[in-house]
């Protein structure tokens, strides 16, 4: 009988961690639907980016107030969860505040006091975030793609964090009272600079009621964390975990550098070489043309692009900077990432149901992302520069444009004219090559 709480705790822990593992495996499987890319270069630069951009959140502080608030909530939340370690140990072994007997008491008191102060700061940060979203109504949080689930998701996570912090502080307040009453198992330990202000609200309660509050908040706190962990999979907050690998695999060549298709480059070179034999066998080691140019669905994208889609925080900084979006065009780089993730999830569910992907008559192009959006892009790279977690929406736009041009010859008329001119005249203008130097005779 006395071990029932321990057994229940182990069941809850196993279920929470187990379900989380199943979902992480699904994400990995879905990302692997993309094609492989070699990211074994620039290793030290990549690790430097992880430290600076992912851990140090250097791009967040470009906008200092939300940036600092984000760092506070993130760091605070992570550090407070060190407390979860003690909760897990206590839960498994049926102990209470075991770390206070292992660590020097001064250190333990200092840690608990720091967690409480951080909890208060996280609570304040979360309330400010909620206010910015719901009262101040910043434009980027109210764009079209943020209606419905994305909007609710952002709020749910804020409520989650508020509740977890309040539970943590209430648990400590009840614990203090029980320590003062000398209740059995409640060792005198911890320093409580914040929760001491909740204690007066518990003043006249009996020991049994205090134990019920302490145990109740303890259970709700740990169950809440397990639910939070599993909620991540369904939420944009997956970035808490994926930001790190995503930044590692982020672009390390200059942002403006587009990838060239070697097979096409070779073809162009051959076209320009008057001595080239168009019927000659390809040189040894020459790269063959891919079976399909560009991307019309998520399977045509790279694994890094798919990781990008899962990592997107839906913060809208990219869309805020996008000149196309700012001049009223339909394009939103954030929506490009959200659409890519939605389509990838749809394919994942299709695989779950059928054991393998059964064509569903849909694709990323047209069913999710329209041609109008794709051709509105100026390729300025502002979205890539603005993204705090090194996501590259432009690369997806360019791959989809490549598909339209090279597989469907479906570029807009203006572009088709320019490309035909380049092919015929070696320049985008409609003048014969022989007339190129006419300008010099004009005077």
Binding site for ligand SF4 (CB under 6 A): 312-318, 321-324, 331, 333-334, 337, 377-383, 386-387, 389, 391, 393-394
Cβ-based nearer residue to ligand SF4, 264 or 380: 380
Min separation Cβ 406 and ligand SF4, Å: 20
Sequential DSSP letters for 34-87: SBP----S-HHHHHHHIIIIIIS-TTGGGSHHHHHHHHHHHHHHHHHTHHHHHH
Residue 369: strand pairing partners: 365
Cβ-based nearer residue to ligand SF4, 112 or 322: 322
Q: What is the DSSP letter of 204?
A: T
- Are the CB atoms for 223 and 12 separated by under 8 Å? yes
Residue 302: strand pairing partners: 35
Residues 6+ apart with CB under 8 A from 229: 16, 17, 20
Min separation Cβ 261 and ligand SF4, Å: 20
- Cα dihedral value 365, 377, 344, 302, nearest 10: 100
Min separation Cβ 382 and ligand SF4, Å: 4
Min separation Cβ 352 and ligand SF4, Å: 26
Cβ-based nearer residue to ligand SF4, 300 or 321: 321
Cβ-based nearer residue to ligand SF4, 91 or 316: 316
Cβ-based nearer residue to ligand SF4, 300 or 373: 373
Min separation Cβ 249 and ligand SF4, Å: 14
Min separation Cβ 57 and ligand SF4, Å: 12
Min separation Cβ 140 and ligand SF4, Å: 8
Burial (CB count within 10 angstroms: exposed 0-12, middle 13-18, buried 19+), residue 231: middle
Cβ-based nearer residue to ligand SF4, 189 or 391: 391
Cβ-based nearer residue to ligand SF4, 157 or 382: 382
Query: How far is residue 62's CA from residue 60's CA, in Å, rounded to a whole number?
Result: 5
- Taking phi over 0 as left and psi of -120 to 50 as alpha, with beta for the rest, 302 belongs to beta
Cβ-based nearer residue to ligand SF4, 307 or 337: 337
Min separation Cβ 163 and ligand SF4, Å: 25
Query: How far is residue 114's CA from residue 119's CA, in Å, rounded to a whole number?
Result: 8
Query: How far is residue 228's CA from residue 162's CA, in Å, rounded to a whole number?
Result: 12
Give me 318's structure tokens: 């990219």
Give me 312's structure tokens: 């997107």
């Amino acid at each position: 009988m006395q071990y029932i709480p321990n057994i229940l705790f182990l069941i809850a822990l196993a279920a929470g961690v187990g379900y989380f593992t199943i979902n992480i495996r699904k994400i990995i499987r879905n990302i692997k639907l993309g094609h492989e890319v070699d990211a074994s270069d620039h290793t030290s630069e990549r690790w430097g980016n992880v430290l600076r951009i992912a851990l140090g959140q250097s791009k967040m502080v470009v906008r200092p107030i939300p940036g600092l608030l984000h760092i506070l909530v993130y760091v605070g939340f992570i550090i407070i969860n060190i407390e979860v370690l003690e909760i897990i140990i206590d839960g498994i072994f049926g102990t209470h505040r075991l770390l206070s007997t292992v660590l020097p008491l001064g250190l333990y008191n200092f840690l608990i006091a720091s967690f409480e102060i951080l909890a208060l700061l996280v609570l304040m940060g979360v309330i400010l975030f909620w206010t910015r979203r719901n009262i101040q109504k910043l434009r980027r949080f109210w764009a079209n793609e943020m209606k419905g689930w994305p909007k609710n998701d952002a709020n749910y996570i804020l409520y989650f964090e508020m509740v977890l912090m309040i539970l943590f502080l209430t648990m400590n307040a009840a614990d203090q009272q029980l320590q003062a009453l000398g209740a059995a198992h409640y060792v005198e330990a911890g320093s409580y600079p914040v929760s001491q202000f909740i204690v007066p609200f518990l003043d006249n309660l009996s020991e049994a009621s205090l134990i019920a509050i302490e145990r109740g908040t303890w259970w709700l706190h740990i169950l809440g964390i397990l639910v939070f962990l599993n909620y991540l999979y369904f939420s944009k907050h997956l970035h808490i975990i994926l930001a790190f690998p995503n930044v590692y695999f982020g672009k390390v060549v200059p942002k403006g550098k587009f990838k060239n298709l070697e097979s096409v480059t070779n073809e162009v070179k051959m076209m320009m070489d008057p001595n080239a034999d168009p019927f000659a066998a390809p040189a040894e080691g020459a790269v063959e043309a891919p079976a399909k140019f560009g991307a019309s669905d998520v399977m045509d994208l790279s694994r890094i692009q798919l990781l990008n889609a899962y990592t997107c925080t839906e913060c809208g900084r990219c869309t805020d900077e996008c000149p196309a979006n700012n001049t009223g065009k339909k394009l939103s780089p954030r929506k490009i990432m959200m659409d890519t993730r939605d389509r990838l999830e749809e394919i994942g569910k299709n695989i779950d149901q059928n054991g393998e992907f059964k064509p569903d008559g849909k694709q990323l192009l047209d069913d999710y992302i329209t041609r109008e959006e794709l051709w509105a892009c100026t390729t300025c790279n502002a979205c890539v520069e603005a993204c705090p977690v090194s996501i590259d929406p432009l690369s997806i736009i360019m791959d989809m444009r490549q598909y339209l041009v090279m597989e469907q010859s479906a570029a807009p008329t203006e572009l088709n004219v320019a490309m035909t001119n380049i092919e015929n005249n070696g320049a985008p203008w409609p003048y014969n090559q022989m007339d190129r130097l006419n300008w010099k005779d004009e005077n």
